[in-house]
Structure 1
C-alpha cells in the first residue's frame, strides 16, 4: 500500500532526524533508517517495497508497517492506499496577510544590530544618571485608582502585543504559520505565540524567534530610559520602564515555558525539557526511578537538574500567589466593593466599577483559558471517578 505525506520539514539532530509538519507543529525524531524509509515512500514505493529496498541498501530490517502506523499517530501521514487519514489541521495563523516574502528583513543580522542601539543607549543613560530609573511610587501619578489601573492595563497589553508581534513576524519570516492566543502559566494569564513549526529551522533562526519578543521589550525600555534622560520624568515613561523590566524578569522564570525556557531547551539539546521534567518528578512521587531510561545520558542529567528547578520554582510561585497576590487582590476587591456601596456621586461609583472590572475580568479570562486547556482532562478524571463509584 502506498503512503502519502503532508509537506514535511527535516532537520538533523545528533544521531537522529527531526521530521514533521511546519504547518501544524507536529514532529517526531527518527533514526537515519526511518528518514530513508520516508524518502522511499515519498518516491512512490509501497511499504513492502520500501522495507525490501532498505534491507538491501543498509542491512536494516525495519518493520515499515509499524513505523508508518507511528507516523499516522503523529499526524504526518495524509493518506494510505489512496484513502485520506485523519490528522491535525494546520495552525490557523494570526495576521495571515503577513507573508514570508515581506518579512525576510526580520531575520537579517542588520535588523538585530539595529535593535541593540536603543538598548545600549538606554543602558548608557541609566549608567550616566541612575536616578532616571523610576521607583514604583512614581507610577501612582494620580489619586484615582481607576485611572492608574487603566494606564497600567493599556501599557501592559500594548507592550504584550508588541512582544508577541516580534515572535510572529520572525516566525512568519521563517515560513512558520505562527498564531497568537491567550493562555495560562500557573496563576498567570499570558499571551503566547505558537511557533512550534520553527523546530526544523536552523538554530540561528530558532534562537532569533525565541528571543525576538524579549529583545523588543529591552529596546522599548531603552527608548523610555533615553526619553527620561533627555526630557525628564514622565508618567508614561515610568509605566513603560517598570512594565518592561517586570516582563523581562518574568522570562527568567524558566521553570515555566517562557521564551528563555525554549532557548535553554534548545541550547541544552533537549527536545521536551518541561515534559520530561514533569514525567521524572511524577515518577519520583510514585517511587519509580527509571522514567528517563529512554533518554541519552547527557540529556538525563540536564532533565534531572531542570526538574529540581521546576519543582522548587513552581512551589515558590504558587506560594507567592497564595500568601501575597491573593490577599492583596482580595483587599483591593473588598475596598472597591465598599467604595461602590458608599459612593456618593456618579464619578465615584464609576471609578469603583472600573476598578472591580479590571480586577475581576483578567481572572475570568484566566479561568476560561485554563479550562480550555485542562477541561478535557478533568472531565475524563470525573468520568473515571464516577465509574469507580458505580462498581459493586
Structure 2
C-alpha cells in the first residue's frame, strides 16, 4: 500500500497551516480533538488546544510559539510544547489540509455503512424518551417473570422442537437478525451525532463477531457516547422484554409459545458475551469511558506483558531493568489499567481453555456425526440435516479465518 504524504516534512517554523474542520471537547485535564469524518482523535494538553486555535487563525508556527511564550509557555519550557513538532504530529494524524497554501494529499475516508441515512433522519435516536421506554419494558417483563415463574427463561426453551435442524435454523436465523439490529442501533445513534460509522466483521479470540466502528464518538457529549455504546444492549433487552410480555398473553402449550420462549433466551444470551470486557465489548467501552482511560485494552495488554517479562527477567549490566509502562499514566488511569490487566489475562486464559476442552471437542463430535450421516444407509432428510450442520460449522470457521487474516493484513499494511 502506498502511504499518502502527510505534509509533515514541509512544515517549518515559518509555515502557516490550514486545518481540517476539527471537533473538540474538554476531558479532565486534557482536550480530545479530532476529525469526525475520519474518526481520528487524540488527547492534547491545554497549550495544545491553544496552539491549534492560534494556528487556525492563520498565524505562522513561529508566531504561535511567541504567543504561547508570552504567557510563560515558551516552546523550550518543560511545560510548553515544540510547536513545529506538534504541527508535524497533527499532519501525521491527517488534521492538516494545507501547508503554506499547498494542499496536502488526503487518504480517502473509509466508506460508511448505510450512507443513505443522514443525521437529521435518525435524530430521534438521541431522545431521552427511548431509554425510559426501554426501562419501562424491562421493568414490566421483570415483574411478569416474578409473578409467573413459568415465564422465566430456561435452557430447555431453546429445545422447542425434536428436530435438531429446526432448532438450529431458528437459533441461527434469530441470532443473525438480532445481531444486525444490535449493530444497526450503534450505527444509528452514532450517525445521529454525525459520526459516519461502519459495520463489518471482526474476531475476538475464537469468536467471530459483527462490529460497528464508531470512531469519532469520543468527540460527542458523555450522554451521547453512552447512548451509542449501550444502544445494542438496549435492542436485545427490548426484544427479550417484548417477547416475554407476549408470552404472558398466549397459550403456554402451543408451538408459538415455545418459539417465543426460545426468542427470549436467544435475545438474552448475547448479553453474557457483552460482560466479557476483556474482549472490548460494548460494556468495555462504557468502563473505559467512566475510568477516563485512553486505550484500556492496549495499556492493559502492555502492563500484563511487562509483568510476565519482569517475572522472567534478571537485571544485569547487559540486561537492564524493565520499565513499567503504566508509570506514565495518571494515578486513576494507572489503577484501572493494572486491575483490567488481571481480568484481561484471566478472561483470555478462560476462553481459550473452554475452547480447548469444550468447543473443539463438541464441534469435532458434530462434524464426525454429520459426515457419517451422509452415507447411503441414511434417509434424504438425514442427509439434509447433516449437510446443514456441516455448512454451519465449516462456514462459520472459514469466515472467522478469513476475517482474522484480513484484520492482520490491514494492521500490517
**TM-based fold match above 0.5:** yes
Q: 1:51: Cα distance to partner?
A: 1.4
Counterpart in the other structure of 1:285:
308
| Alignment deviations for residues 135-167 of structure 1 (CA, whole Å, 9 cap, x no partner) | 323322333322221111100001111111111
Q: 1:293: Cα distance to partner?
A: 2.0
Residue of structure 2 aligned with 1:353, choices 387, 397, 410: 387
Report the count of equivalent residues. 379
Unaligned runs of 5+ in 1: 381-392
Change (3 A) 1:101 1:58: farther
| Alignment deviations for residues 347-384 of structure 1 (CA, whole Å, 9 cap, x no partner) | 3222211111011111111111111112366x79xxxx
Counterpart in the other structure of 2:160:
141
Counterpart in the other structure of 2:368:
334
Counterpart in the other structure of 1:17:
31
Counterpart in the other structure of 1:55:
69
More displaced, 194-203 or 341-350?
A: 341-350
CA distance in 2, matches of 1:343, 1:105: 58
CA distance in 2, matches of 1:272, 1:232: 50
CA distance in 1, matches of 2:279, 2:106: 29
Counterpart in the other structure of 2:151:
132
Counterpart in the other structure of 1:28:
42
Counterpart in the other structure of 2:286:
263
Q: Contact 1:91–1:178 (CA<8 Å) still a contact in 2?
A: no
Instruction: Report the TM-score, using the length of structure 2 for normalisation.
Output: 0.88
Q: How does 1:1-392 map to 2 (within 5 A)?
A: 1-61=15-75, 62-86=81-105, 88-233=107-252, 234-287=257-310, 288-342=322-376, 344-375=378-409
Unaligned runs of 5+ in 2: 1-14, 76-80, 311-321
Stretches of 4+ aligned residues off by more than 4 angstroms: none
CA distance in 2, matches of 1:88, 1:257: 27
Q: 1:286: Cα distance to partner?
A: 2.1
Q: Contact 2:291–2:332 (CA<8 Å) still a contact in 1?
A: no
CA distance in 2, matches of 1:147, 1:179: 33
CA distance in 1, matches of 2:282, 2:307: 28
Q: Contact 2:186–2:229 (CA<8 Å) still a contact in 1?
A: yes
Greater helix fraction, Structure 1 or Structure 2: 1
Q: 1:86: Cα distance to partner?
A: 4.9
CA distance in 2, matches of 1:154, 1:258: 22
Q: Contact 2:66–2:74 (CA<8 Å) still a contact in 1?
A: no
CA distance in 2, matches of 1:27, 1:335: 51
